[in-house]
Amino acid sequence: MDPSQLTDEQRKELDEKWKNTSPEEITELQKQQCIFCQIIAGKIPSKKIYEDNLCLAVMDINPAAKGHLLLLPKQHYSIMPQVPEEEIGHFFNIAKKLSQSLLRGLKVSGTNIFIANGSAAGQRAQHFLLHLIPRKEGDGLLPAEEKLIDKEMQKKVCVVIRDSLNKQLGIKLMEKKETEKVDTGDRDIPEDWEKEENQENKEERSESSEEPEENVEEKRRGSEDSNLDDIADLFR
């Protein structure tokens, strides 16, 4: 039945039913409605390329290019964050071998290894999967326009992403000199790091304040002369 045709009472009953449904029951209902779970179970025919106890690779029935493959985990996961780490490692190892097979077997120039993670990213079915698309020079697939982002916004985005990653990895603090590195180990950051950093900054400021007055005066005059020249250029 179309949800828009439900009465208020029926909607309340449906909402109450969902509230009392366990996560396991919801997953089972999703499996029953999932076309890829039916392909994995053999209820829907497919052209299999590879299969093991954790994943299955099949030909896409609506390929973006000749040789377009879909790699599916056999367990039903809606999005990538739900996939256990030991499975995701195996999953990408198989994707690597499939990519090599496409490159050598079809004599193509490259491959796109693509995941639509969430509806906003173009995910159409609620079953996590990976696309492997053979590519040739000038094929015109997946065109993307470059977008320039100002440096200030890049800095803000960098901080937000890095902080979120640090929380996931259990890293409480990252040194400024290592912001371009990601430490996935259990590295302990010294508690007195901030004190050392502040002390270094104080020493730098102290050294700069000890600069001879003559040099400071020369810099100030040079700055003023430069500003006057810039203003004069406006009237030439």
Residue recorded with tokens 């990213």:
121
- Provide the percentage of residues in the chain whose pLDDT is more than 70: 68
How confident is the prediction for the chain on average, in pLDDT?
78
Q: Distance between CA atoms of 113 and 95, rounded to whole angstroms?
A: 8
73-103 pLDDT, tens per residue? Answer: 999 999 999 999 999 999 999 999 999 999 9
Q: Which of the residue ranges 46-50, 54-58, 194-198 would you say has the lowest mean pLDDT? A: 194-198
Average pLDDT (200-226) is 53
Residue whose pair of structure tokens reads 């909607």 in the numeric block: 11
Helix (H) or strand (E) holding 132: strand 130-135
Q: Residue 33: is its pLDDT beyond 90?
A: no
- pLDDT score of 149: 82
Distance in Å from the first CA to the final CA of the chain = 78
Residue type, 158: C
Domain ranges of the chain: 22-135, 150-206
**Per-residue confidence (pLDDT) for residue 42, from 0 to 100:** 94
116: closest CA among 133, 101, 131, 102? 131
Token pair 């367990």 in the structure block, residue: 75
Q: What is the pLDDT of residues 97-135, one digit of tens each?
A: 999 999 999 999 999 999 999 989 989 888 999 999 999
Band (218; pLDDT cuts 50, 70, 90): low
Looking at CATH, the fold of the domain delimited by 22-135 is given as HIT family, subunit A (3.30.428)
